[in-house]
Structure 1
Amino acid sequence: MHFNVAGAAVRVHPVWLLITLTVFAVLIKLGCWQLSRASEKATQLQQLASWQAEGPLDWLQLRQHPLQDMDLVQFADEGRWLSPMVWLQDNKIVQGRIGYDVIIPVQFNRFDLPVLVNLGWVEAAQNRTELPEITIPAQLSVRGVLRTSFGSFRLGQNLEPGTDWPMRIQQIELESLNPYLPEPALPAVIYQMEGSPFLSHYQPVVMLPEKHRGYALQWFLLAVAVLGVALAASLRKEETNE
């Protein structure tokens, strides 16, 4: 297959052309995905700043709005821990140490459904068979961020076999946790940000938009480099054949 580039004849093998264009397309797609993520993060930061400016809301105020519009809202209210239920979300690394996030169901005074609250982080024992001792007050003052988008990819089953509390889990998945509750939980999680007996480490937005844009630029530059290398190799090969 022959092309003319700036007056120079370039001969490219069809297979190598296909490989080059495929790699180029993948790199461009990755760059566009990073730009999309940057846009999402910018929207989240704007939403977070807007909710922070309004101050924390309680359940009476929250119930005036659709739940899907309440992501990242600042929340503050009083509730009761549904003892003895405690889930320990596994493989949480904080300050280089391995531990768990402590998840409990809370019944708020002016809301019918139980709500899952992430109280923060506790360090794991060196022996994995030993679970940390968890002490939680019966009544809680919950101050944090409400998220309607949570959970992530996991491998294997979510709940480890056993009937004793606390139970170890991989992810917060309501389908596997609801059977233990008196009623299905609200499809949201509150991350305690202050006043927790455990270490609060949750960050609503982990990676800033600028970093995503930087990654996007890297992918685009790699795409250009792939084309440049392929073109240079073809020109060199053509000159050698002559």
Structure 2
Amino acid sequence: MRIKLAQQIFAFNTLWLCLTLTAFAILINLSWWQLSRAGEKTEQLQRLAQLQANGALQPAQLSLLAAEDIDGAPLQGEARWLAPYIWLLDNQIVSGKVGYDVIVAVQATGLATPLLVNLGWLAGTSSRDLLPQPEIAEQFQLQGLLRVNVDGLMLLGQNAEDNGQWPMRIQQIDYAELSRHSGLALFPALLYQQQNSKFEPHYQPVVLPPEKHRGYALQWFLLGVAVLGVALAASHQGRAKGE
């Protein structure tokens, strides 16, 4: 296939042309997707900033608000740990070390329904057969960020390792399943504690900022342009006759 473009002749193999256009389309779509993600992250950061500006919620307010109104909101209050319920969220890496996030059920003052709290990260033991035994205060102050959708990814076939003992290792947060294991009617939200002397809070509501996504979008776009440039250079046959 020969094409005249800007007084230049280009010869294309049909298969090569299809592969080039397909690669270009994929790279441009990836660039557009990263730009879309940048827009989503910008909106998310703006919403979180507004929620912070509105001030922290109290536990008594949670049952009066819709899920979209509390997702990302700060919360402050007092709570009592509902022993012995401790879940260890598996495969949490902090500073290059593998460990667990310590999840407990608490009774927050003013909230009738028990609430799940992520106290932070705890290093694992030398053997997966031996779970760490975190020390939980009977009462403590709640100060953290509420999130509603925290399912995560299932890396293994079974979520909770229920052997009748606590703490219990889990692969993801499933409110219904944790309610079933504990017998508690859990409130469908998780509080990420931001301050804790025994554990290491590490939760970030936005991991990659919008600027990173825009940078990736530019990279994908430039790769797409490079693919077209290489294809045109390789197929260039010279100027058209008579020019």
After TM superposition, the score normalised by the length of structure 1 is 0.91
**Aligned-partner Cα distance in 2 for 1:107–1:25:** 53
Q: Structure 1: which 5+ runs fail to align?
A: none
**Aligned-partner Cα distance in 2 for 1:176–1:60:** 25
Do structure 1's residue 140 and structure 2's residue 117 form an aligned pair? Answer: no
Compute the RMSD of aligned alpha carbons: 2.0
Aligned length: 239
**Aligned-partner Cα distance in 2 for 1:61–1:192:** 18
Please say if residues 141 and 195 of structure 1, whose CA atoms lie closer than 8 Å, have aligned partners that are also in contact.
no
Post-superposition offset of 1:236:
5.5
Greater Cα shift, 83-92 or 227-236: 227-236
Please say if residues 102 and 121 of structure 1, whose CA atoms lie closer than 8 Å, have aligned partners that are also in contact.
yes
User: Which whole-Å deviations, capped at 9, do the CAs of 1:72-121 have from their partners, x for residues lacking one?
Assistant: 10101222222111111111111222111001122223223222110001
Describe how 1:20-31 pairs up with structure 2 within 5 A: 20-31=20-31
Q: Structure 2: which 5+ runs fail to align?
A: none
- The one-letter code matched in structure 1 to 2:109 is N
Post-superposition offset of 1:196:
5.1
**Aligned-partner Cα distance in 2 for 1:20–1:13:** 10
Q: What is aligned with 1:201?
A: 202
Please say if residues 11 and 237 of structure 2, whose CA atoms lie closer than 8 Å, have aligned partners that are also in contact.
no
Q: Secondary structure of 2:221's partner?
A: helix
Q: What is aligned with 2:159?
A: 158
After TM superposition, the score normalised by the length of structure 2 is 0.90
Q: What is aligned with 2:16?
A: 16
- The one-letter code matched in structure 2 to 1:37 is R
Q: What is aligned with 1:76?
A: 76
Q: Secondary structure of 2:84's partner?
A: coil
Post-superposition offset of 1:168:
1.1
Q: What is aligned with 2:190?
A: 189
Post-superposition offset of 1:161:
4.8
- The one-letter code matched in structure 2 to 1:87 is W
- The one-letter code matched in structure 2 to 1:6 is A
Please say if residues 103 and 117 of structure 1, whose CA atoms lie closer than 8 Å, have aligned partners that are also in contact.
yes
Judging changes above 3 Å, is the alpha-carbon distance between structure 1 residues 183 and 84 closer, same or farther for their aligned structure 2 residues? closer
Post-superposition offset of 1:207:
1.3
Judging changes above 3 Å, is the alpha-carbon distance between structure 1 residues 12 and 118 closer, same or farther for their aligned structure 2 residues? same
Do structure 1's residue 217 and structure 2's residue 210 form an aligned pair? Answer: no
